[in-house]
Amino acid sequence: MKATIHYNGEHYNIDLSKPKDISIPLRGEASNVNAWGVDPPTIEPHSEGSFIGNVARGGSVNFNDISFNPHAHGTHTEGVGHITDEFYSINQSMNQFFFLAKVISVVPELRQDDWVISKHILKVALKDEEIGVLVIRTQPNDRAKLTKQYTDTNPPYFTEEAMHFLVDSGVQHLLVDLPSVDKEKDDGALQAHKIFWSFDGQLRKAATITELIYVPDAIEDGLYFLNLQMASFENDASPSRPVLYDIEKK
């Protein structure tokens, strides 16, 4: 099934029959992707008195209790409320879910003991192009990202200059395959987050960061139509399911 859309003054054909899901599903298992030292998520039948929410165990229906942390246990989209004392719900901040997005692949560079995504890396990849929605795949890239245990591994992160560059380039929605845009242990500084949301200025309340995505190698760098699906949680962050579609400019 194909559709034609008018977006930012241009016409595009979209192939809706071939969605490319770049989210990591949540499973109630220890092998679920994890960060920040949080216990694994759980998905267990609800039990109360003689009731058990599991058909295989004699219940009338499957009726599971689910416990998880959106920041630690899979693909999630977060808003400025992640770092403010005032409550801002991601569910209220997001009012658009379809975007033209650019996918780029980057190789972090080594600085002392850290692997970082620098301004230079992004500038080379974007070629001075302004883009509102950016999807970043880090290299090396393999399916181990679907189950990786990130705690105490010091994953790659964005330098302050890199994040300033993205904001100056017009990025409103940033999607990355990392547990955070900041260093794992930075004493709570969260400088990349703060720069992205203009924490010390006019808050960018409509801007979002989506973390812990996974972009398979079969998805080439380039432009796509993005459906950023998100659960309706009144929270600073929500589990999300970004889906890409091939496009063709008319």
Beta strands in the chain (DSSP E): 2-7, 10-15, 20-21, 42-45, 47-48, 51-52, 64-67, 76-78, 98-106, 109-111, 114-117, 133-138, 157-158, 173-176, 208-211, 222-230, 237-249
More confident residue, 9 or 62: 62
Q: What are phi and psi of 49, to 5 degrees?
A: 60, -125
pLDDT digits (tens, 9 = 90+) for 106-155: 999 999 999 999 999 999 999 888 899 999 999 999 999 999 999 999 99
CA 240 remoteness from chain centre: 7
Q: Cα(188)–Cα(177) distance, rounded to whole angstroms? A: 21
Sort residue 8 into left (φ over 0), alpha (ψ -120 to 50) or beta. left
Name the pTM for this structure.
Answer: 0.96
pLDDT at residue 2 is higher than 90: no
CATH number of 2-27+71-249: 3.50.30.50
Q: Cα(60)–Cα(53) distance, rounded to whole angstroms? A: 7
pLDDT digits (tens, 9 = 90+) for 196-214: 999 999 999 999 999 999 9
